[in-house]
Each structure stands twice: as structure tokens, then as C-alpha cells.
């Protein structure tokens, strides 16, 4: 127990203590993990896919990580630097990390501050195409006064300095291994990218691309009693239901990642009796975005869904509100997600400090919605069941990506909107096209050639500032920026822009949360431009014989694999 | 015949080049981009840089010529190096997958074993059971055997593999626990135990695929046999008092094989192409899974290389079929 | 047509003979009966069973209660996971599936036969047409379909209305991507047939190529074409369901048999009937067409006729 306390510091609050105490490394044999999306590469700097980041998190580690509550804890660092302990400068322009003493790479060489500096250089090289470059935004220099000290300097005060080298998306690479892989050479270093030398509990033995990664315990891991498993197999492929089945019903695997299946199937699988589902909630919100611009196919190409033409129907806030009021989010959740989701009215549902107390949308109000439509001037004058105004029918095209749950949601929402008197046409688009962002395709979610569309989005880490600043006026996608903006619904409000700028300047945490809540409310309950539906949690399956699993939605799901053990 | 084969082989070079160009244009033109694999949390500037580093933004003709060079020059050189320990290809850029940044040919090499064992043996078994069933069904037309064969073949062909696969998993893996539901590609057959394990994990995918293949081939075999059984030469042969077995297996069968040979020759390249759905259901992760994954991720180098190899096999086996026609029926001439 | 015997002796036409022979084929008659029943089920059915296949009860409480119902008088085939009536969905789905199956199969078989006959019969056309076949065999299906959607969907929908446009789009897409096997098979047969004595005889008396093909070649390649056609229906119905996953097919809430089958696989353990109904319907369609094809082939073969 004392070893563990010393090493894990602040994060030692897990309930696995008694068994872990008498353990030794590798005593529990093999653990088998199933990811229905197979791992492509074990270097998160070259792929931002969750599966790749999480596989890599078993091998390479950052200075600090997030625990299951989103609280920072040190991994390679001795402690979390703060303004109070002097680690962060008072003007918030630099942060000083101290590495633990005696850290070794899995090849036995010592970890030094040079490796940390190199990781920054590696990811910020202009030709490297680093997928995590956003983590290093604003970093102007990384200094190494001594082998165990790293000073990160920012170009301006950083209210949130815990971006670089924090979390599984920003790990430390070994300089000796990757020195020849900087810049354009990054993608040619296959051997390195597939088996990086790391400090994590495991190291790669064999890697079959997009199929299976075989790992073994890192002989130089800093805790001599860990990991408990001698080998780890990370298999990929299939779909979520099959992955859940392999853990819950056949017991072939110990852990299955992201087994997002409908509640009925969850119940069926639980009856298998070989495992249980673990859930955790992060920031992923399934939402309907309202198009503020006119997507009409009658407009010339290049003007469809651009700010030139405001939406003829949805520009009216009352219509948007009525559409939201007609939706029963509880039913949606019950059918689509069950214990893996909860209805929400917020764009930022968590961390708790940032979540607005906005619950007004949770109860369906069909009568209210109908009244609001009438107030907005939409009435059924010709008795065909569809509302109209000035001879124009209230008809909506509702698109999303192909996905069983989303198609059920579409059908349900269509039912309610029909009841409201709105004609709805549904469209489902192949996910690789919908999210592909190809400016040549009319079916991308950025082009938004529909009136409303549904998808899910979240933000990295625990600070919603970059996420909320997606809705700035200048981030509207359009032909001039190859449709690459993030402000999907073309919301534009100078007051909102001003408040985002204020958030960027604000350093006090309390004030930041207040501002973030206000911004969240401006997008949701005040304007109904974004209609949040479900706060989607993570649902994974764990075998009854696998102990120590703590689901973490703020960092890699395999964040504490070093603590996993076999229940006997 | 020899000149015919040589001429066809020569002609296949421009054909294949043209096919490769069409494939390239098609894949490039298709909507969707490798960016669909990047999570929405990654900001657009970073996204653009990632795509840039993959080389997605280079002009079309540049990328095509680069691929041609890599496929026909760098990769063979590399293979030569790997075999003889030389280093002619050092410093040359191999074909790299967008998705995994690994050389495409390494991925293909990793995946060929499981695809050939599973899909290949399913095809062999499918053909091996389809031919006798087709022959006997035709010989005893409308017997209970024929009726049953028709029924099984038609149902086997109408219910898709995504259904039969899941059904088998539910029965044999979940219910009875006889076979694993997930194919272990790391298993190496070294002794009897590992062989049994390999056989167990192959059983279900092979069953699904063999049923599908056998259904199709047995129908062609049966119909072609039926056509020939009514011909005058059969009557003549029988009238001459020839053994029924000889009539059936020597004369009728030989003359009935042309459509069957066509179908089988068309099927062999698809072994290499893998069985997309079956591989996915049983997590075989062979070439079929690689291809569909690459298509979804718009991994152009991977899709291009796989489909081109596929095209080569198609052209080759269709040539083989043409040669076989000539052997089966010497009256067929091409010159 | 069924009660002709008591009319006086008229010269017997060939087609009458064919029909008489066809009628004596028990399997074919059974197949025809099943097929007609299926057609009636999907065309007349919705006129009698007037529940909207996409209707979901807007009242959440009733909707939740009405989900996943077992068969009952109100819902003879039960309801699905959103409380939609399965019988209505089967009928609506069948219209599309049967229509797509038949039309797409016809396109693919016609195209395949045309290419196959031309390539097999005319030596000059053999090489270009067969290399074209190689090209189509080699093209990856998914990107090809996605490109087709991107280019033609909106244009077709505007020109012909969304429903006809989508239908045309689907059958063309399936037809254009599935004719190659038929073409290769027909060509192989034609290569052998054209060297046979009866074709040589016909040619030696100066019969034009068109007549030789129609009179002598085509009837003799009917069997493999029939097989290709029956198998083609099954693949077309399944392919249609795959297409709707690319955004190429009908709107996502529109049921077709292939789609119902695909959606049902998720619920295979709890509600196996969800898969059984569409699976049975597809199998029955294919089986019945197969037996009709068998009967037709026998009936068209003068050697068998009257046996």
C-alpha cells in the first residue's frame, strides 16, 4: 500500500487496495481487451482517433492525467504545478513541471526533460501534420534548465495552462527513438509509430495494423508491483453489439470499449451473467442543430446555406422553440441509450462547475408548442394537417449520419413534429461522407444543405472555452473557407462574440464558469439555435473476473490499466 | 493457343493501366475525405495540416504518377531487398496508408494468411460440395434430393451473411459455447492443440461462406447439366450401351462445365478480395475488412492498391477461364 | 386461358403449348401461386390494412407501451422497437423490394446477355467488351455508388420527383454494377454454341446474324440466364438495403424487406420474428421465381415438352 501511495499521489483514492497490496508484476497472466474500432497506429500525434490514443496510453504517458472526476493528477511529474505552489507563474505565462526521479523508459534509459522538450518540437513541426497540435497552442518555448525540470512558456497569459503534456492526447515520446522522425519523416517511421518506447505499464510486442496489438508488462515500469497482467491483447473489429457479446455473453474477452447498444440489448446481454456494463458521463452531447441560413436547392450553388440568405422559417426563434418543446427527450433516451445516456438541455453538460441549471426542456409540451407556432403565425389554413403561413408549407428536411439509434431518433422526432403540424423529410448519410468535410460533396454536415441536422460533439479536457468559441461569427463555414468552419448552424450574435472574448481574458475560475454558463444558455435556452437532446455517456463492458476498472471519460479509458487485476 | 495467351497478356498491360486510372479517379472523386476519421474536437487548422502532411492536397496527376512509380518500381525493389538483403530501395517512399501510416504492402502481407485460410477454404469447400450436388440434382431432377437442394440453395442465397453469421454466433458461440465468436489472428498452428483451436475458430465463418458459394455454384451446375442431359449425343451414348457413369461424368459433365468454370473463375479473385461482411462479423480482419475500412476512411493509397491487385487477379483468372473453354470444348477458337 | 379444352380444335400455337407444358409443371404452378400471392399481399394488402407503416404514436406513454408487441389482432405481425405495425411495414417494404428486385434484375440480365452475346458471337467485339467487363468487375462498388449518388441523386429527384427518381437511381445502380457475371457466363456459352453444327448450318444457308442470335443462340443460353436472374433478384433485394445505408436509397424511415432484415438482426435474440418475416418473404420470392424459371425453361425446351 505504501508504494502505491507514494507513486500515485493524489489519485490514490481507488477501492482496490487490499488485493493490490500483495501483488507482483505479471502474476495475473493475460488480459484481453476488445475495441470494435481496430487500432491503426500507436502514436497519438499521428492519429487523433480515440482507439489509437487509448491504445497508445498504455505505452506512453503524459506528465499529468485526468482522473474519473476530471481532476488532474501527476503521472510523470512529481506534483501538479499551480500558482499557489509556485509551479505556475503569477502572470500565467509559464508553467514549471518537475519530473519524478529515477524514471526509466521501457528500454532502460532514463527519462529526462529533453524528451519532454522533444515531444513539443515533434508535434509543432510545421510539416509533421501532428494531430494534437492544438494541445500546444500558445506555447512559445519549452526550456530544460536541468534533466528533471521543464519550463513551458506561453505567448500570453493562459488561464488553463494544463494543455501541453497533459492527458493521453499529449504524451511524452522518447527523443532517442523519434529523433529521425521529425517533420515530413514522421509518417515514414513505421517501426517507431507502431511500437513506441514508453514509460507506461505495457510495451508493444507485436502490432498488426487495424487488427490486434499484443503487449507485455513494461519491465521498467515505475511501480515494481504493476502491472498485474503479464500480457495484454487489444483486438479490434466488428461492431459494438458483438464486442459487448464477447464480454457479457461468451466471456471471451475481459473488457470491451464503447459498447454503445440500445437498452433492450443491454438488458439481454446483462442476462448473460458474465460481466457488467460500466458507465461514465463526459461532455458528449447528441443535439439537433438548427440551420439559421436558407438551404433551399433553388438558390445558386455557393449561396445555399450561407449568411447571404437567412432561413425563411427557422430564423424565427418561436418556431425553433416550438420544435424543441415538441420533443420528449426522456423517451428518446429510454429508446436509444438507457443507462448510457441522460436527457439534457445543455450544450456543456459537465464538468459540474460549468453546467448550467437549465432543465426547462426536459418535459415535452406539445400544447405549448402548438400555441407558440400559432403565435408565430403558422396555422393550418387548408386543413391538410400541415401548418402554413403566407401560402408556404412548414416543411423541414432533417438529416443525420447512418446509425441505428439516430434513425430511431429521426423517426420519433418526425412523429412529434408531424403531430405539431410540421412536414418532415428524413435523410441519412453515410458517416464517412457526412463527417468527411469534402468541399465537393453536398452531403457534409458543414455544408448543412438541410434545415436541421443531428450529430454529437464534445470537447477535449475539462475546459469548454475552445468548444464555446466554435459559435463565433467568423467561424461560419462557407465557400470562402472551403466550408471548414465549426459554427455549423451559422449562429451569429455580436454579444456572444464579445462574451467569448471576455472568457478568454478571464483568469478567475469562478468567473469563467459563470461566463461559460451564460454562453451555453445563449445558444440553448435563450435562442434555441442548438437543441441538445441527450448527454451521452460512455458505456463499456467489463468481465466479472476483471477488477480495478474505473471508467474515465476525461482521459483515456485505459488510464488505470496498471491497476487492473484478475478477480479470483 | 500460345500466341493467343501471349497476345492477351500483352493486351492486359494497357487494360490494367487504364483500369488503375479509372479506379484512381473514381476513389478520388468519391465524396468523403480522410478527414472523416478525425474527431470533431480537432480544430480546422490542425485538420488541414494533417491532410496536408498525408499528401492529399497534391494535384491529381502527381499523386497518380507517384502511386504508379511506387507500385511498379519502389515496391518491387523493396521486395527484392527484403528477399536478398540488398538496399536498393533505401530512402524511397513506399506506398503508405493514410489511416495507419504503415506501408500498404506490409498490411496486405499481415492479412493474406487469415483471408486465404478462411475465405479460401470456404471457397474450396463450397465448390467441392456444390459440384456433386449440382450433378446429382440434375441427374435426378425433381427427386426429393433435388427439391431439398433447391430449397437450401435458394434460402442460403437469399438470407444474407450478416444474418447467418450472427445467427451462428448466437447458436454456437453464445448458446452452446462450441466455437469462439472472435477470430484470433495471432494464433500460430504449431501442434495438435493449436490446430484444433484453428479449426474451431474457422468453422463458423467457413460455414457461412461455403453455404453462400455452394448455393450459387450448384445452381449453375444443375442447370447446365440439365441442358446437356437432353442432348442427342447423350441419347446416342446411352443407345450405344455406354455405362451410365461414363455418360454422366465424362460426356455430360465435360460439356456442362463452361458456365461453371466461368463462375468459379470469377469467384477466385473474390477470395483475395475477402468476404467483407463475414470477416467483419467474425472479426477475421482480413483483406475484405481492410478494404472496407479503407474505403470508409477514404484511405486512397490502400483502396487503390488493393483494388488494383484485385483487378490483376480478375484479368488473370478470366484469361484462365478462356483457356479452359478451349480445353473443355476444342471447337472454341480465338484466332 | 385456364378453361380452353371445350372450344373447338384451333391450330395450336407455340405459346399455347408452352403454357400447357408449364401448367403441368407442379413446382412452377406452386411457384406462380406463391408469387401472385406475394404480389397481391404487397399491392392490395395496404388497401385493406390501412395503417401507415411509418406511423409512431405521438403520445409518449402509448408509444412506449406499444413497442415490441407480440403478434395480436391489432398487430398480426407485432410491432417494432418504435411501435410501428410490422404487417404494414412488410407490405410497404414488399412493394419496393419486389419492384427493385425484378427491375434491377431485368436490367442486369438484359445488359449482361446483350454484352455476353455480342462478345461471344462477334469476334471483333469480344476483346473490347470483355475488357470493359474486367473494368467493371474491378471497380470498387462503394465509391462507385457514392459517386453515382453525388452526381445523379438531386438531378433525378428534381426531374422525376423524389420517389421515382430514387427508385430509378437504385435499380440503375444495382443493374449497372451487377451485369458482369451474366455477361461472362453467356459469352462462354455462346463461344461454344456458335461452333455447333446447327449454327454452322444456319450460317451456311445465309441466315443473317441477328436471326441466328435470336433463333438459335438465345434459346440455348436461357438456362444459365434463368439461374442468373433468380440469384439476381435475391442480391438486388439485399443490395437495396445496403444502398439505403449510403444515403442512396429511400428515406431512412421507409421500410424495405432488406432493411427490415438488417434492423431485425440487432433484435435477433429477443424478437426473432423481426428477422423471420422479412427473411421468409425474401426467400419465398426467390424460391417462387426459381420454380417459375424452372417451369419456363422446361416448357420452352421442345425436347422436354410433351414428355
Provide the ipTM: 0.84
Residue range B188-215: average pLDDT? 87
Q: What is the mean pLDDT of chain C?
A: 83
- Worst-scoring range by mean pLDDT, A31-35, A510-514, B164-168? B164-168
> Is residue B164 located within the same domain as residue B118?
yes
Question: In this structure, how many other beta carbons lie within 10 angstroms of the beta carbon of residue B101?
Answer: 23
- Worst-scoring range by mean pLDDT, A308-322, A509-523, A548-562, B42-56? B42-56
Residue A425, chain C, CB below 8 Å: the answer is yes
> Is residue B153 located within the same domain as residue B74?
no
* Count of domains forming chain B: 2
Question: Quick check: A1 pLDDT over 60?
Answer: no
Residue B96, chain A, CB below 8 Å: the answer is yes
- SS3 category, A555: coil
Residue A5: what pLDDT? 41
Helices (H), A251-380: 263-270, 317-325, 329-336, 366-375
Question: Quick check: C118 pLDDT over 90?
Answer: yes
Question: In this structure, how many other beta carbons lie within 10 angstroms of the beta carbon of residue A96?
Answer: 18
Residue range A481-503: average pLDDT? 89
Beta carbons of A264 and C267 less than 8 Å apart: yes
Beta carbons of B32 and A432 less than 8 Å apart: yes
Between positions 361 and 400 of A, the ones with CB within 8 A of C are 364, 366
Question: Quick check: C261 pLDDT over 50?
Answer: yes
Beta carbons of A331 and C60 less than 8 Å apart: yes
The domain that holds B158 is classified in CATH as 1.10.3720.10
Nearest of C45, A372, C143, C35 to residue B294 by alpha carbon: C143
A18 pLDDT band, cuts 50/70/90, is very low
Residue C246: what pLDDT? 66
User: Which residue among A47, A210, A458 sits closest to B293, beta carbon to beta carbon?
Assistant: A210
Beta carbons of A331 and C81 less than 8 Å apart: no
Tell me which chain A residues have a C-beta less than 8 angstroms from the C-beta of C166.
none
Tell me which chain B residues have a C-beta less than 8 angstroms from the C-beta of A347.
none
C142 pLDDT band, cuts 50/70/90, is confident
Residues of C with CB under 8 A from a CB of A: 54-58, 60, 63-64, 67-68, 81-82, 84, 146, 150, 154, 158, 244-247, 251-253, 263, 266-267, 269-270
Residue A15: what pLDDT? 40
For residue B144, the distance in angstroms to the closest alpha carbon of chain C comes to 12
Give me the total of CB pairs closer than 8 Å, taking one residue from chain B and one from chain C: 160
Residue B252 sits in which domain range? 107-328
> Is residue B119 located within the same domain as residue B218?
yes
In angstroms, the CA A113 to CA A276 distance is: 42
Q: What is the mean pLDDT of chain A?
A: 88
- Residue B9 inside a domain? The answer is no
Question: In this structure, how many other beta carbons lie within 10 angstroms of the beta carbon of residue A166?
Answer: 26
In angstroms, the CA A380 to CA C30 distance is: 52
Question: Quick check: A255 pLDDT over 70?
Answer: yes
- Residue B114 inside a domain? The answer is yes
Residue A412, chain C, CB below 8 Å: the answer is yes
Name the DSSP letter for residue A310: B
- SS3 category, B152: helix
Tell me which chain A residues have a C-beta less than 8 angstroms from the C-beta of B174.
245, 249-250, 272
Residue B164, chain A, CB below 8 Å: the answer is no
Question: Quick check: A326 pLDDT over 70?
Answer: yes
> Is residue B148 located within the same domain as residue B279?
yes
- Residue B253 inside a domain? The answer is yes
Tell me which chain C residues have a C-beta less than 8 angstroms from the C-beta of A265.
266-267, 270
Residue range A137-149: average pLDDT? 92
Beta carbons of C247 and A433 less than 8 Å apart: yes
Is A398 in contact with A327 (CB distance < 8 Å)? Answer: no
Residue C1: what pLDDT? 41
Residue A505: what pLDDT? 84
Question: Quick check: A64 pLDDT over 90?
Answer: yes
Residue C10: what pLDDT? 62
Q: What domains appear along chain A, each with residue ranges and CATH number?
A: 281-538 (3.10.105.10)
Beta carbons of B157 and C147 less than 8 Å apart: no
Residues C103, C107, C108, C109: is their CA dihedral positive or negative? positive
Residue range A483-507: average pLDDT? 89
> Is residue B83 located within the same domain as residue B222?
no
Tell me which chain B residues have a C-beta less than 8 angstroms from the C-beta of C226.
223
- Worst-scoring range by mean pLDDT, A1-15, A234-248, A454-468, B141-155? A1-15
Question: Quick check: A4 pLDDT over 50?
Answer: no
The chain C residue lying nearest B325, using CA atoms, is: C188
Question: Quick check: C245 pLDDT over 70?
Answer: no
Question: Quick check: A16 pLDDT over 90?
Answer: no
Beta carbons of B258 and C192 less than 8 Å apart: yes
For residue B52, the distance in angstroms to the closest alpha carbon of chain A comes to 7
- Residue B335 inside a domain? The answer is no
Torsion angle (degrees, nearest 10) of CA B21, B23, B28, B29:
100
Residue C12: what pLDDT? 64
- Residue B7 inside a domain? The answer is no
Residue B166, chain C, CB below 8 Å: the answer is yes
pLDDT tens digits along A116-127: 999 999 999 888
DSSP string, A458-515: --SSS--HHHHGGGSGGG---GGGTT--S-TT----HHHHHHHHHHHH---HHHHHHH
pLDDT tens digits along C163-217: 788 888 888 888 988 899 899 999 988 988 888 888 888 888 988 888 888 888 8
> What subunits make at least 3 CB pairs under 8 angstroms with C?
A, B
In angstroms, the CA B230 to CA B136 distance is: 15
- SS3 category, A542: strand
Residue B219, chain C, CB below 8 Å: the answer is yes
In angstroms, the CA A484 to CA A478 distance is: 7
Question: Quick check: B129 pLDDT over 50?
Answer: yes
Beta carbons of B170 and C140 less than 8 Å apart: no
> What subunits make at least 3 CB pairs under 8 angstroms with B?
A, C
**Alpha carbon distances (Å) from C45 to C35, C40, C75, C285:** 14, 7, 14, 16
A474 pLDDT band, cuts 50/70/90, is confident
Is A231 in contact with A213 (CB distance < 8 Å)? Answer: no
Beta carbons of A408 and C81 less than 8 Å apart: yes
> Is residue B158 located within the same domain as residue B187?
yes
Give me the total of CB pairs closer than 8 Å, taking one residue from chain A and one from chain C: 84
- Residue B115 inside a domain? The answer is yes
> Is residue B308 located within the same domain as residue B264?
yes
Question: Quick check: C4 pLDDT over 70?
Answer: no
User: Which residue among B159, B259, B310 sits closest to C189, beta carbon to beta carbon?
Assistant: B259
Residue range C104-121: average pLDDT? 92
pLDDT tens digits along B295-306: 888 888 888 898
Is C268 in contact with B170 (CB distance < 8 Å)? Answer: yes
Beta carbons of B285 and A133 less than 8 Å apart: no
For residue C82, the distance in angstroms to the closest alpha carbon of chain A comes to 7
> What subunits make at least 3 CB pairs under 8 angstroms with A?
B, C
A11 pLDDT band, cuts 50/70/90, is very low
pLDDT tens digits along C144-175: 887 887 788 777 877 877 778 888 888 888 89
Question: Quick check: C9 pLDDT over 70?
Answer: no
pLDDT tens digits along B92-116: 788 888 888 888 888 888 888 888 8
In angstroms, the CA A135 to CA B186 distance is: 36
Is A358 in contact with A525 (CB distance < 8 Å)? Answer: yes
Between positions 178 and 207 of B, the ones with CB within 8 A of A are 180-182, 184-186
Most confident residue range from B72-81, C34-43, C142-151: C34-43
Is A152 in contact with A98 (CB distance < 8 Å)? Answer: no
Residue A8: what pLDDT? 42
Task: Classify domain C25-43+86-300 by CATH architecture.
Answer: Orthogonal Bundle (1.10)
Residue C247: what pLDDT? 65
> Is residue B88 located within the same domain as residue B194?
no
Mutate to test the interface with C, among A430, A440, A441 (most CBs of C within 10 A): A430
In angstroms, the CA C79 to CA C82 distance is: 8
A22 pLDDT band, cuts 50/70/90, is low
**Alpha carbon distances (Å) from B12 to B8, B42, C116, C122:** 6, 45, 19, 20
Between positions 263 and 302 of B, the ones with CB within 8 A of A are 280-281, 283-285, 289-290, 293, 295-298
Residue range B57-73: average pLDDT? 86
Mutate to test the interface with A, among C51, C54, C60 (most CBs of A within 10 A): C60
Q: What residue spans define the domains of chain C?
A: 25-43+86-300
Query: What does residue A446 show for φ and ψ, rounded to 5 degrees?
Result: -70, -40
Nearest of C182, C62, A182, A112 to residue B262 by alpha carbon: C182
Residue range A261-288: average pLDDT? 89
Tell me which chain C residues have a C-beta less than 8 angstroms from the C-beta of B216.
231
Produce one character per residue of A418-451: b if its CB has 16 or more CB atoms within 10 Å, e if not: bbbbbbbebbbbbbbbbbbbbbebbbbbbbbbbb
User: Which residue among A407, A411, A430 sits closest to C246, beta carbon to beta carbon?
Assistant: A430
Residue A219: what pLDDT? 92
Tell me which chain C residues have a C-beta less than 8 angstroms from the C-beta of B151.
287
Residue B3: what pLDDT? 83
Between positions 51 and 70 of B, the ones with CB within 8 A of C are none
In angstroms, the CA A243 to CA A34 distance is: 6
Question: In this structure, how many other beta carbons lie within 10 angstroms of the beta carbon of residue C73?
Answer: 5
Amino acid at each position: 500500500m505504501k508504494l502505491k501511495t507514494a507513486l500515485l499521489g493524489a489519485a490514490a483514492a481507488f477501492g482496490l487496495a487490499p488485493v493490490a497490496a500483495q501483488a507482483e508484476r505479471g502474476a495475473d497472466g493475460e488480459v484481453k481487451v476488445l475495441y470494435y474500432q481496430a487500432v491503426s497506429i500507436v502514436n497519438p500525434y499521428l492519429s487523433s482517433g480515440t482507439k489509437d490514443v487509448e491504445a497508445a496510453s498504455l505505452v506512453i504517458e503524459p506528465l499529468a492525467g485526468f482522473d474519473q472526476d476530471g481532476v488532474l493528477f501527476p503521472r510523470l511529474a512529481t506534483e501538479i504545478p499551480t500558482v499557489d505552489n509556485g509551479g505556475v507563474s503569477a502572470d500565467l505565462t509559464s508553467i514549471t513541471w518537475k519530473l519524478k526521479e529515477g524514471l526509466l523508459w521501457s528500454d532502460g534509459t532514463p527519462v529526462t526533460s529533453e524528451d519532454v522538450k522533444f515531444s513539443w518540437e515533434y508535434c509543432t513541426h510545421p510539416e509533421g501534420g501532428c494531430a494534437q497540435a492544438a494541445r500546444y497552442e500558445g506555447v512559445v518555448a519549452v526550456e530544460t534548465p536541468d534533466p528533471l525540470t521543464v519550463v513551458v512558456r506561453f505567448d500570453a497569459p493562459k488561464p488553463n495552462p494544463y494543455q501541453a503534456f497533459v492527458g493521453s492526447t499529449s504524451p511524452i515520446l522518447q527523443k532517442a527513438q523519434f529523433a529521425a522522425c521529425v517533420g515530413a519523416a514522421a509518417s515514414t517511421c513505421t517501426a517507431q509509430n507502431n511500437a513506441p518506447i514508453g514509460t507506461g505499464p505495457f510495451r508493444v510486442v507485436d502490432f498488426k495494423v487495424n487488427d490486434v496489438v499484443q503487449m507485455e508488462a513494461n519491465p521498467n515500469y515505475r511501480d515494481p508491483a504493476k502491472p498485474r497482467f503479464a500480457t495484454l491483447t487489444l483486438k479490434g473489429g466488428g461492431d459494438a453489439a458483438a464486442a459487448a457479446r464477447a464480454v457479457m455473453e461468451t466471456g471471451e474477452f475481459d473488457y470491451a470499449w464503447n459498447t454503445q447498444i440500445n437498452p433492450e440489448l443491454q438488458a439481454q446481454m446483462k442476462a448473460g451473467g458474465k460481466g457488467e456494463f460500466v458507465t461514465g458521463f463526459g461532455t458528449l452531447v447528441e443535439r439537433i442543430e438548427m440551420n439559421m441560413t436558407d438551404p433551399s436547392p433553388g438558390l445558386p450553388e455557393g449561396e445555399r446555406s450561407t449568411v447571404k440568405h437567412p432561413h425563411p422559417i427557422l430564423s424565427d426563434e418561436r418556431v425553433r422553440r416550438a420544435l424543441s418543446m415538441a420533443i420528449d427527450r426522456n423517451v428518446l433516451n429510454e429508446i436509444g441509450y438507457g443507462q448510457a445516456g441522460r436527457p439534457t438541455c445543455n450544450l456543456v453538460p459537465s464538468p459540474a462547475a460549468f453546467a448550467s441549471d437549465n432543465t426547462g426542456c426536459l418535459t415535452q409540451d406539445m400544447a405549448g408548442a402548438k400555441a407558440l407556432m400559432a403565435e408565430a403565425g403558422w396555422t393550418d389554413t387548408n386543413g391538410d394537417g400541415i401548418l402554413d403561413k403566407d401560402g408556404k408549407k412548414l416543411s423541414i428536411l432533417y438529416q443525420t449520419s447512418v446509425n441505428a439509434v439516430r434513425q430511431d431518433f429521426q423517426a420519433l422526432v418526425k412523429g412529434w413534429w408531424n403531430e405539431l403540424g410540421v412536414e418532415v423529410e428524413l435523410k441519412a448519410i453515410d458517416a464517412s461522407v457526412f463527417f468527411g468535410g469534402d468541399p465537393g460533396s453536398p452531403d457534409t454536415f458543414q455544408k448543412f444543405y438541410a434545415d436541421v441536422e443531428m450529430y454529437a460533439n464534445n470537447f477535449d479536457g475539462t475546459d469548454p472555452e475552445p468548444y464555446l468559441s466554435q459559435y463565433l461569427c467568423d467561424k461560419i463555414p462557407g465557400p470562402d473557407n472551403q466550408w471548414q468552419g465549426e459554427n455549423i448552424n451559422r449562429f451569429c450574435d455580436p454579444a456572444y462574440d464579445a462574451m467569448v472574448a471576455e472568457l478568454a481574458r478571464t483568469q478567475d475560475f469562478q468567473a469563467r464558469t459563470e461566463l461559460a454558463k451564460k454562453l451555453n444558455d445563449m445558444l440553448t435556452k435563450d435562442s434555441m439555435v442548438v437543441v441538445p437532446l441527450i448527454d451521452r455517456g460512455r458505456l463499456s463492458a467489463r468481465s466479472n473476473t476483471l477488477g480495478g476498472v474505473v471508467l474515465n471519460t476525461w482521459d483515456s479509458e485505459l488510464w488505470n490499466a496498471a491497476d487492473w487485476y484478475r478477480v479470483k | 493457343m500460345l500466341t493467343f495467351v501471349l497476345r492477351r497478356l500483352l493486351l492486359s498491360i494497357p487494360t490494367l493501366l487504364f483500369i488503375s486510372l479509372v479506379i484512381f479517379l473514381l476513389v478520388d472523386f468519391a465524396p468523403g475525405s480522410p478527414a472523416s476519421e478525425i474527431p470533431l474536437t480537432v480544430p480546422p487548422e490542425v485538420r488541414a495540416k494533417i491532410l496536408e502532411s498525408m499528401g492529399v492536397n497534391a494535384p491529381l496527376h502527381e499523386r497518380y504518377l507517384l502511386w504508379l512509380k511506387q507500385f511498379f518500381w519502389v515496391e518491387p525493389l523493396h521486395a527484392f531487398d527484403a528477399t536478398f538483403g540488398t538496399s536498393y530501395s533505401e530512402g524511397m517512399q513506399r506506398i503508405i496508408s493514410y489511416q495507419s501510416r504503415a506501408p500498404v504492402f506490409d498490411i496486405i502481407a499481415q492479412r493474406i494468411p487469415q483471408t486465404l485460410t478462411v475465405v479460401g477454404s470456404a471457397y474450396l469447400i463450397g465448390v467441392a460440395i456444390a459440384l456433386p450436388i449440382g450433378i446429382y440434382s440434375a441427374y435426378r431432377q425433381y427427386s426429393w434430393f433435388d427439391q431439398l437442394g433447391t430449397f437450401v440453395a435458394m434460402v442460403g442465397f437469399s438470407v444474407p451473411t450478416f444474418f447467418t453469421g450472427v445467427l451462428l454466433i448466437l447458436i454456437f458461440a453464445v448458446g452452446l459455447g462450441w466455437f469462439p465468436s472472435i477470430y484470433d489472428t495471432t494464433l500460430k498452428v504449431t501442434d495438435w492443440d493449436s490446430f484444433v483451436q484453428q479449426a474451431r475458430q474457422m468453422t463458423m465463418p467457413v460455414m457461412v461462406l461455403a453455404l453462400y458459394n455452394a448455393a450459387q455454384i450448384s445452381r449453375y451446375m444443375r442447370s447446365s447439366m440439365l441442358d446437356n442431359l437432353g442432348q442427342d449425343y447423350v441419347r446416342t451414348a446411352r443407345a450405344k450401351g455406354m455405362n451410365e457413369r461414363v455418360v454422366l461424368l465424362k460426356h455430360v459433365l465435360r460439356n456442362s462445365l463452361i458456365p461453371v468454370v466461368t463462375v468459379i473463375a470469377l469467384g477466385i479473385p473474390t477470395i483475395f478480395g475477402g468476404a467483407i461482411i463475414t470477416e467483419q462479423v467474425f472479426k477475421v480482419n482480413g483483406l475484405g475488412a481492410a478494404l472496407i475500412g479503407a474505403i470508409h476512411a477514404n484511405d486512397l493509397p490502400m483502396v487503390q492498391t488493393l483494388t488494383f491487385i484485385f483487378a490483376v487477379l480478375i484479368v488473370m483468372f478470366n484469361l484462365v477461364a478462356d483457356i479452359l473453354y478451349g480445353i473443355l470444348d476444342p471447337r472454341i477458337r480465338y484466332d | 386461358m385456364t378453361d380452353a379444352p371445350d372450344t373447338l380444335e384451333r391450330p395450336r400455337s407455340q405459346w399455347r403449348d408452352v403454357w400447357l407444358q408449364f401448367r403441368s409443371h407442379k413446382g412452377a404452378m406452386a411457384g406462380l401461386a406463391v408469387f401472385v400471392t406475394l404480389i397481391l399481399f404487397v399491392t392490395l394488402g395496404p388497401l385493406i390494412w390501412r395503417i401507415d407503416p411509418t406511423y409512431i404514436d405521438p403520445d409518449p406513454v402509448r408509444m412506449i407501451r406499444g413497442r415490441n408487441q407480440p403478434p395480436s389482432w391489432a398487430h398480426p405481425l407485432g410491432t417494432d422497437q418504435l411501435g410501428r405495425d410490422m404487417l404494414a411495414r412488410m407490405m410497404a417494404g414488399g412493394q419496393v423490394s419486389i419492384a427493385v428486385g425484378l427491375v434491377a434484375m431485368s436490367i442486369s440480365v438484359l445488359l449482361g446477355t446483350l454484352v455476353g452475346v455480342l462478345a461471344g458471337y462477334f469476334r471483333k467485339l469480344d476483346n473490347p467488351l470483355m475488357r470493359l467487363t474486367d473494368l467493371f468487375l474491378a471497380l470498387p462498388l462503394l465509391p462507385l455508388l457514392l459517386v453515382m449518388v453525388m452526381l445523379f441523386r438531386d438531378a433525378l429527384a428534381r426531374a422525376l420527383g423524389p420517389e421515382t427518381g430514387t427508385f430509378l437511381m437504385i435499380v440503375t445502380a444495382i443493374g449497372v454494377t451487377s451485369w458482369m457475371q451474366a455477361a461472362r457466363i453467356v459469352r462462354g456459352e455462346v463461344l461454344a454454341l456458335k461452333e455447333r453444327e446447327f449454327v454452322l448450318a444456319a450460317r451456311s444457308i445465309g441466315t443473317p446474324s441477328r436471326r441466328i442470335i435470336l433463333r438459335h443462340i438465345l434459346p440455348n443460353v436461357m438456362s444459365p440466364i434463368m439461374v442468373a436472374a433468380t440469384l439476381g433478384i435475391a442480391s438486388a433485394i439485399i443490395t437495396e438495403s445496403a444502398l439505403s445505408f449510403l444515403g442512396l436509397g429511400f428515406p431512412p424511415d421507409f421500410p424495405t424487406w432488406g432493411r427490415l432484415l438488417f434492423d431485425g438482426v440487432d433484435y435477433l435474440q429477443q424478437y426473432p420474428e423481426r428477422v423471420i418475416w422479412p427473411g421468409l418473404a425474401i426467400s419465398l420470392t426467390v424460391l417462387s421465381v426459381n420454380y417459375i424459371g424452372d417451369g419456363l425453361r422446361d416448357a420452352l425446351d421442345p425436347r422436354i415438352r410433351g414428355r
